[in-house]
Amino acid sequence: MSIFNGMNITASALTAQRLRMDVISSNMANAETTRGRMVEGEWQPYRRKMVVMEPNGSAFSSHLQRAMGNNSTSGSGVKISQIAEDQTPFKLVFQPDHPDANEDGYVSMPNVDPLKEMVDLMSTTRSYEANVTTFDAHKNMLLKALEIGR
């Protein structure tokens, strides 16, 4: 185990939360985009994206077994396994004057809920801040350890 293991774990979490903030920002920016991508010659609205995280390295159960066996190895952080698309159906809004309206006057709008995105953004920001605090605490402990040697 490295002396910087805690910093590396926290850094991986900071990177993951930063990507999550970027994806949420993209969702918010495209909340009204009716032409997100072309599928079979027809435009579809933007589809909400979500970040899927998983432990970097082995599964939690193996870490638990090692901890119960008094083995001092610890985790190795978090990684992004994929950026998945939310498969909830698009919202239909009656706007007969919209250029993307169908024959009945309904427009398919993205499945992005701005309120849900704001809650996710606040949660992500709090996680990011907590990881920054953890990183600073670890850095301060290493500095104090160096002062002992003086």
Look at residue 40 in the predicted model and tell me its pLDDT.
Answer: 86
Q: Is the dihedral of CA 101, 98, 45, 50 positive or negative?
A: negative
Look at residue 69 in the predicted model and tell me its pLDDT.
Answer: 66
Three-state DSSP state, 71: coil
Look at residue 74 in the predicted model and tell me its pLDDT.
Answer: 59
Q: Is the pTM of this model over 0.75?
A: yes
Look at residue 76 in the predicted model and tell me its pLDDT.
Answer: 78
Look at residue 36 in the predicted model and tell me its pLDDT.
Answer: 84
User: Are the C-beta atoms of 112 and 30 separated by less than 8 Å?
Assistant: yes
Q: How far apart are CA 148 and CA 28, in angstroms?
A: 49
| C-alpha of 88 from chain center | 18
Quick one: tokens of 126? 């709090």
How long, in residues, is the chain?
150
Give the residue ranges of the chain where pLDDT is below 50.
Answer: 70
